[in-house]
Structure 1
């Protein structure tokens, strides 16, 4: 009788442990998708566990990015400054992947702008939440404006308007990244306080920017594939040059586009939206996007949130590889690196 009691005393805890182990295994098998989406390394759980809801998470985007791309290194200046020649990763490439042959004109521009950061107020933030606003029709009627304006840094692309669309896209603009052909052409449509940021894709783009900075008359349109802005109503201190490393890294390291000896060629240029996201991953602690993603299965859906052009108007691009970019962006969303507010990616 005594031996039976001892046996039961020993066997009961073992049975409980087996039950718990088996139960946890079944739970894991039942919800693999949820587990993968919500998974976060223990060190990150400890780091961010005590933060209140909505509070900025320092280093969050970098930590999630390195879990997918272990060689990802965050330090990469957002804009070119007078020390840009020391950046070896861009010195050996021609535009759009670098600055080779353009050093003198860039020096000339930077001597006039004299400002090379987001500005003292944003530079002081120990944690930055950034959002990249794409131009997709998916933004229309989503009423995300107030949510977008809560971000520390709001990045807009090319000539996408704000006035009249505030309910969906917000009213705040920290910077507008563009190239000559994509820049707003009517001076009155520019925001009164935002940074004008050039993302240069060809040699002519730097010459164009020099004319804009020094308020010189643009006499020729040669070298551009469509009409360009002739005036940028910004003072030199509000103008920046985006670090071309982000174009290089997005193309060759993340998306896997053809290297083509570091020269612009068919299908090896990332879109400006993906370039902006890459920039944000290096310089922001949390990164969100809105207005990204084209659904080619709905040809009558609006292409952009601000015009009536339909999705069917999209034609095959010579410079971009949209399908490969989608794969990259979906990987970022699935891995929790970026948040997609419009669920278009």
Structure 2
């Protein structure tokens, strides 16, 4: 199956509440949170995904004040959100009841692209989870022993996906589920791809429908992060000092951070692989790098803050973070 999870943040939460899959898992993340230092940080009323029912003139007025992934400021949204009206669009794990699952808990592997995975031989372990989340580059062919071969959800920004397909096209397997990131481009791309129509305006304009997601992609393959969720993650989990600098306008949690925190808010158990750890200087930037590359830092993300958050979530028992040391 194949989904796009697109990213959108706003202020006050609307009236449409999230639908979290309720399982019989005896010790899921939501049950453990109250016993940790994160108890007051988590707000389970925040909608993780947005779909057709979220659109209204009042909500548009509220969220149009926020741009980028934090709102609807640069998007003509009604026609795009309107097509997201299936159970697959509003539920993260819409196929859970139909699957032959081996446990009563929704077990998720969230796989980043960190060089720590090169030589890890974690592929089989990753593939044994109920759902596997991947992000951006996500090259699989030739790396299966280290990163596995299954993908349930693929989170991306359009620019990163385009660059990844150019650089790693032979290794990418895009027969998956997609989560998108930057509204102004991704809403347009999602609508055109799922309705098999050409984009008739803007920088993405073309004579033919987008082919990033395959020829047979349907609207059920797309999920879009709610802008309130992105803003909540920024303000509560990753409120960086960059927000006090000139980088405030471009700062947001990284694509991988949104993916991992979304999993923490929806899965029963989360195992994280390929995310930055304190010994990151020992590894190349990505597991698929042909030549060793040092990790680079940019002003739009606070990767060191994210690294500290993963350590804290791991130590609190809310995730299991793969570390070599």
Are the equivalent residues in 2 in contact too, given 1:267–1:321 (CA < 8 A)?
no
What is the CA RMSD across the aligned residues, in angstroms?
Answer: 3.6
Question: For this pair of structures, how many residues does the alignment match?
Answer: 279
Question: Is the alpha carbon distance of 1:58 and 1:266 closer, same or farther for their aligned partners in structure 2, counting shifts above 3 Å?
Answer: farther
**Which of the pair has more CA radius of gyration?**
1
User: How many angstroms does 1:162 deviate by?
Assistant: 1.6
User: How many angstroms does 1:219 deviate by?
Assistant: 7.0
Q: Does 1:83 align with 2:53?
A: yes
Q: Which runs of 5+ in 1 are unaligned?
A: 1-55, 224-228
Are the equivalent residues in 2 in contact too, given 1:252–1:259 (CA < 8 A)?
no
More helix by share: 1
**SS of aligned partner of 1:232:** coil
Moved more, 110-119 or 129-138: 110-119
Question: Is the alpha carbon distance of 1:267 and 1:315 closer, same or farther for their aligned partners in structure 2, counting shifts above 3 Å?
Answer: farther
Question: Is the alpha carbon distance of 1:309 and 1:217 closer, same or farther for their aligned partners in structure 2, counting shifts above 3 Å?
Answer: farther
Question: Is the alpha carbon distance of 1:317 and 1:106 closer, same or farther for their aligned partners in structure 2, counting shifts above 3 Å?
Answer: same
Are the equivalent residues in 1 in contact too, given 2:113–2:137 (CA < 8 A)?
no
CA distance in 1, matches of 2:78, 2:229: 21
Q: Does 1:232 align with 2:201?
A: no
User: How many angstroms does 1:175 deviate by?
Assistant: 0.8
User: How many angstroms does 1:178 deviate by?
Assistant: 0.8
Structure-to-structure mapping, 1:195-234, within 5 angstroms: 195-199=177-181, 201-218=182-199, 222=203, 231-233=212-214, 234=217
**SS of aligned partner of 2:275:** coil
Question: Is the alpha carbon distance of 1:330 and 1:210 closer, same or farther for their aligned partners in structure 2, counting shifts above 3 Å?
Answer: same
Are the equivalent residues in 2 in contact too, given 1:113–1:239 (CA < 8 A)?
no
User: How many angstroms does 1:248 deviate by?
Assistant: 1.4
Q: Deviations over 1:67-120 (max 9, x none)?
A: 222232335444322222479799533331133554314324425997433454
Structure 1 match to 2:293: 311
Moved more, 249-258 or 101-110: 101-110
TM-score normalised per structure 1: 0.69
CA distance in 2, matches of 1:289, 1:132: 5
**SS of aligned partner of 2:49:** coil
Are the equivalent residues in 1 in contact too, given 2:180–2:224 (CA < 8 A)?
yes
Structure 1 match to 2:14: none
Are the equivalent residues in 2 in contact too, given 1:143–1:167 (CA < 8 A)?
yes
Instruction: Specify which of 237, 242, 248 is matched with residue 254 of structure 1.
Output: 237
Bigger RCO of structures 1 and 2 (CA < 8 A, at least 6 apart): 2
Q: Deviations over 1:216-269 (max 9, x none)?
A: 34577838xxxxx753213322122123333212211112136969x9835631
Structure 2 match to 1:69: 38
Are the equivalent residues in 2 in contact too, given 1:246–1:278 (CA < 8 A)?
no
User: How many angstroms does 1:335 deviate by?
Assistant: 1.1
Question: Is the alpha carbon distance of 1:217 and 1:163 closer, same or farther for their aligned partners in structure 2, counting shifts above 3 Å?
Answer: same
CA distance in 2, matches of 1:169, 1:328: 23
Structure-to-structure mapping, 1:41-80, within 5 angstroms: 57-66=25-34, 67-71=36-40, 72-80=42-50
User: How many angstroms does 1:307 deviate by?
Assistant: 2.0
**SS of aligned partner of 2:309:** helix
**SS of aligned partner of 2:69:** coil
Q: Does 1:170 align with 2:144?
A: no
CA distance in 2, matches of 1:114, 1:280: 16
Are the equivalent residues in 2 in contact too, given 1:128–1:285 (CA < 8 A)?
yes
CA distance in 2, matches of 1:341, 1:114: 30
Q: Which runs of 5+ in 2 are unaligned?
A: 1-23, 205-209
